[in-house]
Structure 1
């Protein structure tokens, strides 16, 4: 073969190779921009299988104080260690009020007084709280992150099918004073509660169950849920209301079904009911489906309350709330005994 022919063939081969590489590169570029192939090839090796938000979040460094709802305690226990692993420079500190008991209302007040970066609440913001924020030159924002239910605890030996919301209201306003009036034994009722100013759960109960009426004179006020549940466990006629995760899994009290009508009583626990003698090896679980669908009659949302002031406090609160709305955050809320909102 002549040198000239060899040169021509070499040129043809080089040109063919260049065209082939060009076509392959074009196809690869198209796939990368239209189907995410390159993203998958690169990110699957370098990123752990977590939510995209976890990798994009821009959390401020430093120590941030937050506070509020006692209902949130099981969530805090699950969330904080995980956030600390992901963002060690983003440090959180739960802060109790200097006066009064911790709760949703006191947490919001501390936020308004610049004592907290953000707060946690088991109730929605009130109009006067929005107004106070505006007077201080900023606004408040509430982000719902989970679902909770109010559960009713009674003594394990009390035999009663359940209560309607109207009957529950009448017990706490003093119109019903004996269990015999609601298909129970001839036994005086001892209703327990925390004080109205001590938490979002009590405010929610007063507004949605008592419908603005005052507590009856027979109501005994107890400082904490732990103490109240102990009283119900030893008092045959005792009754108490609280966040469902604080009641349903307990070994010393029995959660009651609730309903809007006597023939629509829905338990706050997943059926079948686990006998209390099996506790603590087996515990009753939350009726998550009943809470999600609204079939259970007393549910509410849990909120992160954020100060909209354009500063690092706002960034910290929004990042905290948004991470709770990721799949990982929602799973931890479920693990804490509450119901995921998404």
Structure 2
């Protein structure tokens, strides 16, 4: 072999070694970069696994609820209209503000009815008429509302998200330890007309009420509800604000409404209520804050009495969802799911209600 061929073999060998070294270097580089990437992404993977577990998407935890607003899926990117019960006002102020902050893609726009005052009935009616995407109610759906929805080609479903207590408000000057549920009902049916009939002073009773078909708070069973004929001495009001003003100016006045609307007020006194006269339960945290101490101090809601069932009159809070496979259904279901998260339930309790989880 001549010198030319030897040099060629040497060069070819060196080139092969160079290629092999280059290939090995690339492989090592890929392995190193892959390891770094795995290490950096490992916390994210763990977080995602945790989020999936919390959201109940795994096969063995499908009944679990997600823990916070950010974990809820299928939240539409849309501006949606909603409205309904005035008892929901604290939730709209506190909870919905948090939802808007954490899930800005869902723009919530509260809508008052064009005619009349807002309440559960007007909200459901606006939902039926296509003016709302979902409604907030402090009473269950009626058969008439369900039937009307079917006639219009869709269904209405109610998703319970909280519980509210129904408080009884009287004039601060009234000296009375409390009422039983039966006595309160008899007052509104016109069967008890003087406070002396229930252990109070010789003073005519002036009951105030919203029309039963429009009221957000109820003291009769769902089946009786709006079919009841109230006493002729009942004076009708258009709103809780008007009713509380009337009670504060009427020594024998009485009214019932959402605990959140009554208990913290300075101008009226919340009255204990019981199933019997020997178990009167205050819906405020004792001791009672007097009008003279208010507004420096305010009565706080006794949510524990609602939770443990000792307080005798409560009502459920529902999101009313239109089942039509459209944006309305997606928005209503997403809103209900947001309220049922741990974060949502905690915020509902901060607003003065009791959660359902």
Gaps of 5+ in 2: 1-30, 52-65
Note the aligned Cα RMSD (angstroms): 2.6
Q: Partners in 2 of 1:38 and 1:83 — Cα distance?
A: 26
**1:172/1:215 contact within 8 Å kept:** yes
Question: Distance between the aligned counterparts of 1:271 and 1:122, measured in 2?
Answer: 26
**TM value normalised by structure 1:** 0.83
* Cα displacement (A) at 1:227: 1.2
Partner of 2:349: 334
Q: Which has the larger displacement, 266-275 or 289-298?
A: 266-275
Are the counterparts in 1 of residues 185 and 220 from structure 2 also a CA contact under 8 Å?
no
Task: Give the total of aligned pairs.
Answer: 306
CA distance in structure 1 between the partners assigned to 2:130 and 2:246 by the alignment? 37
Q: CA, structure 1 residues 107+258, in 2 after alignment: closer, same or farther (shift >3 Å)?
A: same
What residue number does 1:301 align with?
316
Match of 2:135 among 93, 102, 119: 119
1:314 aligns with 329
**CA pair 121-193 structure 1, distance change in 2 beyond 3 A:** same
Q: Which among 223, 228, 233 is matched to residue 238 of structure 2?
A: 223
Asked whether 1:95 is paired with 2:111, we answer yes
1:123-170 CA deviation, whole Å, 9 max, x = no partner? 011112111111111111111111101100001110001001111111
Match of 2:279 in 1: 264
User: Alignment partner of 1:241: what SS?
Assistant: strand
* C-alpha spacing 1:56/1:288, structure 2 compared with 1 (3 Å): closer
Structure 2 residue 92 is matched with structure 1 residue 76: yes
Say if 1:66 and 1:116, in contact at 8 Å, map to a contact too. yes
Output one character per residue of 1:192-237: Cα deviation in whole Å (capped at 9) or x when no partner: 1112232332xx3344697653111111111111111111112111
**Structure 1 residues 259 and 107: CA distance shift in structure 2, 3 A:** same
1:38 deviation in Å? 5.6
- The corresponding residue for 1:39 is 46
Counterpart selection for 2:265 from 250, 263, 266: 250
Could you give the per-residue CA deviations for residues 48-86 of structure 1, whole angstroms, max 9, x where no partner exists? xx9355234232122111111111111101122212212
SS at match of 1:303: strand
Q: Secondary structure at the match of 1:323?
A: helix
Q: Is the 8 A contact 1:154 1:240 kept in 2?
A: yes
Distance in 1 between residues matched to 2:306 and 2:291, nearest whole Å:
22
C-alpha contact (below 8 Å) 1:70/1:199 kept by paired residues: no
User: Alpha carbons of 1:52 and 1:265: their partners in 2 closer, same or farther (altered >3 Å)?
Assistant: closer
* Structure showing greater Rg: 2
Residue segments in structure 1 that go unaligned for 5+ positions in a row: 1-20, 45-49
Separation of aligned partners in 2, 1:177 and 1:133: 41
CA distance in 2, matches of 1:154, 1:223: 18
Q: Does 1:283 align with 2:290?
A: no
Q: What secondary structure, in the 3-state scheme, does the structure 2 residue paired with 1:141 have?
A: strand
> Does residue 1:128 correspond to 2:135, yes or no?
no
The CA deviation at 1:182 is 0.8
Structure-2 separation of matches of 1:52 and 1:78: 15
Aligned to 1:163: 179
Q: Does 1:191 align with 2:198?
A: no
Tell me the secondary structure at the aligned position of residue 166 of structure 1: helix
- 1:151 alignment partner, one of 167, 182, 193: 167
In 1: Cα distance, 2:312 partner to 2:45 partner: 49
Q: 1:261/1:208 Cα in 2 relative to 1: closer, same or farther (>3 Å)?
A: farther
Residue number in structure 1 paired with 2:123: 107
Change in Cα spacing, 1:147 to 1:42, as seen in structure 2 (3 Å) is closer
Contact 2:95–2:344 under 8 Å retained in 1: yes
Partner deviation per Cα, 1:85-125 (whole Å, 9 max, x = no partner) = 12223211111222222111111111111111000000011
TM-score, normalising length: structure 2: 0.80
Q: In 2, Cα distance between the equivalents of 1:119 and 1:41?
A: 33
Say which of 199, 213, 219 aligns to 1:205: 219
Alignment correspondent of 1:174: 190
Are the structure 2 counterparts of residues 83 and 149 from structure 1 closer, same or farther at C-alpha, using a change threshold of 3 Å?
A: same
SS at match of 1:205: coil
